[in-house]
A and B are shown apart, each in its own frame.
Chain A
């Protein structure tokens, strides 16, 4: 039995990459619009980043430097797995430093460090349709986008305010792109929404299972939906990072013992490590070394 085990550069065949690049170009031309593409099966399961992986595979070249994060961290298992995948099938250089990367594939976070011109941020998207949980039918939601009929979304946010006194959506918080399409920023915490606005970097969104690609070109208006009397706000943390003392960054809560004591540390591991290297110390920064 002769089993062929050769794979093309970056796994996908060139025809498929071309098809995906055409979808990406269309997505860039119509910011925030979900472009259908004929998504391929990938060697990792749907829901584990197949959309992002296909986008990355289609745009990556031998000279690119790839960074992969999951939950803001370079060392979470799925980030490790996807980075290893591209190191193997594309033999590209990988990095954990945001500034060194030309392509950053991410799940659920935008790096704290400001992205610059020429970098590409590739998001893994589970449900690309921001209206999906208000209207389950694709035929309906496409019509709503076409007619710019976003009343339902505003009613949902208004109902939040009527019930809770504030908008209760904390992640996958809907945005309006360049004054036209309402878009799902993928399940990033709303803390990251302002980073999408006028970003120097190109932002590409890939949803493999749902077969959609969308994009935010550099320097595009991205506005989080809100009301005049209930303006959009991001999460605030009471304390700085316990390890690097960073403020104004997104923090993860880490349970320290079974008594319920906890610490808050940077979600962005690269940012935290760079700050520690620069000499920043938080109130619990000695703990790790002491253990």
Chain B
């Protein structure tokens, strides 16, 4: 029976209605509020902001709700919104040295100026399910102290004072303006600023696995966590009419400086090198993975042999964006019957030819035997 494939429009509309119904779920249960998502699923919100490349907790919460908790779908929603926003300019570089710190740890020094501050971390929790959380049990107020004022020295500065670590590095373009991967098409090899931008919005899982591979011997870089710091930094823009920088707000970021061994080369004495990670929100795992990947991707610059996937810029950067990746993998769901028809034709033809050749050969063998 031939059923014409018609009615795509009705089918789509009905699918969307059903989706909205499933999103809402049981109407007897209260709908999630954006405030609840923002407050109680804050790390999900952070991930969506980081990979969506847009610092807006309300919109990130909305996209998580709209996507039914599908993180990549939420990231995609936010990106598709972000891309329509006009660009007014670039901020001044944020100064993480002046960060209002909530968490700051170093694995290279037992104690250091500014101290080790654990902050809100899962690190030393026992991963035992807590039945109390099934209800809305009262939560104790946290213990706090007055925040330190002023700047907290970076671990990299301690090493730099002794000349043991490489410099911060220069802007890859040599210009005042940073590269911008959302405004210029990707070209390989990339400059480091563009590469860091790509890593910062790259998929957490993908970068985590690549970072892990470097620890397991695929481009091993002997890393130490020089410092991880999480907190709020000022965002300032320069207003040309005024000739001064103006504070336009604060964002929470996670910064990771990985310190890596380096044997030195003909031009450079042995010293520590850096891998750098910086992401929106509290995303320590991502910042650490990013800094390991950044260091691995500097292989060419540092004259190291490129032997592993994590060092391969085209491989890593071209496949790190989950919005691109999910789109292209999932597009296989779209109809392909025109191309498949072409393939059907050629497979049939090749099978026919195969059978003809086999027949010819077997009759030749038969003749030879007779």
A residues sitting closer than 8 Å to B (CB atoms) are 1, 3, 7-8, 11-13, 15, 36-43, 45-48, 50, 70-73, 75-81, 84, 107-109, 126, 136-139, 164-165, 168, 170-172, 187-191, 209, 211-212, 235, 250-254, 256-257, 263, 267, 284, 287-288, 291
- Please pick, from B2, B12, B188, B342, the residue contacting A284 in the complex, using a CB distance under 8 A: B2
A7–B84 CB distance below 8 A: yes
* Given A47-B330, A164-B353, 6 extra CB contacts under 8 A: A45-B323, A78-B334, A78-B335, A138-B188, A252-B341, A291-B2
Also in contact, A291 and B1, with CB within 8 A (given A46-B331, A164-B350): yes
Q: What is the CA–CA distance of A7 and B84 in the complex, to the nearest angstrom?
A: 8
Across the interface, do A42 and B80 meet the contact criterion of CB distance under 8 Å?
yes
Q: Which residues of B contact A39 (CB under 8 A)?
A: 185
B-chain residues with CB within 8 Å of residue A252 when the two chains form the complex? 337-338, 341
Asked if B186 CB lies within 8 Å of chain A CBs, one says yes
A-B contact pairs, 11 of them (CB 8 A): A38-B185, A41-B79, A45-B323, A45-B327, A46-B331, A75-B5, A75-B6, A77-B8, A80-B8, A138-B314, A170-B342
**With A46-B324, A47-B327, A139-B314: A165-B1 Cβ-Cβ less than 8 Å:** no
Contacts of A40 in B (CB 8 A): 83, 182
Measured between beta carbons, the chain B residues less than 8 angstroms from A3 are 58-59, 62
Give Cα distance in the complex from A190 to B345, angstroms.
12
B364 surroundings in chain A (CB, below 8 A): none
CB distance from A151 to the nearest CB of B (A): 22
What 7 A-B pairs come out closest when comparing CB atoms? Answer: A46-B327, A47-B331, A36-B185, A45-B327, A170-B342, A47-B328, A80-B8
Q: Which of B3, B331, B339, B353 contacts A48 (CB 8 A)?
A: B331
- Whether B338 contacts A79 by the Cβ 8 Å rule is no
Complex CA gap A212/B186 in Å reads 10
User: B11 within 8 Å of A by Cβ?
Assistant: yes
Inter-chain contact A1/B58, CB cutoff 8 Å = yes
A7 contact set on B, CB distance < 8 A: 84
Q: Which residues of A contact B3 (CB under 8 A)?
A: 291
Interface of B, helix, strand, loop or mixed by DSSP:
helix
How far does the alpha carbon of A2 sit from the alpha carbon of B180 in the complex, in Å?
A: 28
A187 to B6, CA, bound (A): 23
8 Å CB contact of B80 from A43, A47, A79, A284: A43
CA–CA, A91 and B28, complex, Å = 39
B338 touches A211 (CB 8 A): no
User: Does A45 lie within 8 Å of B330, measured CB to CB?
Assistant: yes
| Separation of A189 and B87 alpha carbons in the complex (Å) | 41
B189 interface neighbour in A71, A139, A168, Cβ under 8 Å: A139
With A3-B62, A46-B327, A70-B334 known to touch, is A41 a contact of B82 (CB < 8 Å)? yes
Asked if B344 lies at the interface with its beta carbon under 8 angstroms from chain A, I say: yes
CB distance from B200 to the nearest CB of A (A): 16
State whether the Cβ of B343 lies closer than 8 Å to any Cβ in chain A.
yes
Q: Is B301 engaged at the interface, CB distance under 8 Å to the other chain?
A: no
Instruction: Say yes or no: is B9 at the interface (Cβ < 8 Å to chain A).
Output: yes
Distance (whole angstroms) from the CB of B124 to the closest CB of chain A: 36
Q: What's the Cα separation between A43 and B76 when bound, in Å? A: 8
Structural contact, B84 and A48, CB atoms closer than 8 A: no
Check A70/B314 contact, CB under 8 A, given A15-B86, A79-B8: no
A256, B2: Cβ atoms closer than 8 Å: yes
Is the Cβ of A235 less than 8 Å from the Cβ of B80? no
Residues of A within 8 A of B4 (CB): 288
Complex Cα distance A136/B181, Å?
Answer: 21
Per the bound structure, the CA–CA distance linking A69 and B111 in Å amounts to: 66
Q: How far is the CB of A266 from chain B (nearest CB, A)?
A: 11
A286 to chain B, nearest CB (A): 11
B34 at the interface (CB under 8 A from A): yes
Contact at B314–A137, with CB atoms within 8 Å? yes
Q: Bound complex: CA of A126 vs CA of B336, how far in Å?
A: 12
Cβ of A45 and Cβ of B326 under 8 Å apart? yes
Question: Which B residues are in CB contact (< 8 Å) with A72?
Answer: 338
Q: Is the CB of A71 within 8 A of B337?
A: yes
Within 8 Å of chain A (Cβ to Cβ): is B346? yes
B1-27 toward A: CB 8 Å interface, digit per residue (1/0)? 111111111011000000000000000
Q: With a CB–CB cut-off of 8 A, which chain A residues contact B34?
A: 1
Is there contact, CB below 8 Å, between B335 and A76?
Answer: yes
Instruction: Tell me the nearest residue of chain A to B34, going by C-beta.
Output: A1
CB pair B328 A126 closer than 8 Å: yes
Of the listed residues B3, B4, B62, the one surrounded by the most CB atoms of chain A closer than 10 A to its CB is B4
Q: A38-B185, A50-B327 are in contact. Are A267 and B338 (CB under 8 A)?
A: yes
Min Cβ gap A156→B in Å is 15
User: Would A46 and B342 be within 8 Å (CB), given that A40-B83, A84-B9 are in contact?
Assistant: no
A166 CA to B80 CA, complexed, in Å: 45
Whether B86 and A168, one on each chain, are in contact in the complex, defined by CB atoms closer than 8 angstroms, is no
B84 proximity list for chain A (CB < 8 A): 7-8, 11-13
Distance in angstroms from A28 CB to nearest chain B CB is 18
Q: Which residues of A contact B189 (CB under 8 A)?
A: 139
State how many angstroms separate the Cβ of A97 from the closest Cβ of chain B: 17
Is A189 a contact partner of B338 (Cβ separation < 8 A)?
A: yes
Q: Which of A8, A139, A164, A211 has a CB less than 8 Å from the CB of B188?
A: A139
State the Cβ distance, A52 to closest chain B Cβ, in Å.
12
Chain B residues with CB below 8 A from A79, complex form: 8
In the complex, B187 has a CB within 8 A of chain A: yes
- Of residues 173 to 192 in B, which have CB atoms within 8 Å of A's CB atoms? 181-189
Interface contact B314-A170, CB-CB below 8 Å:
no
How far is A272 from B178 in the complex, measured between Cα atoms in Å? 54
Q: Which residues, 332 to 369 on B, are CB-close (under 8 Å) to A?
A: 334-339, 341-346, 350, 353
Q: Given the complex, which residues of A lie within 8 Å of B342, measured CB to CB? A: 170-171, 189-191, 235
CA distance A287 to B4 in the complex (A): 11
**With the chains together, A80 CA to B86 CA distance in Å?**
29
In the bound assembly, the distance between CA atoms of A15 and B11 in angstroms comes to: 36
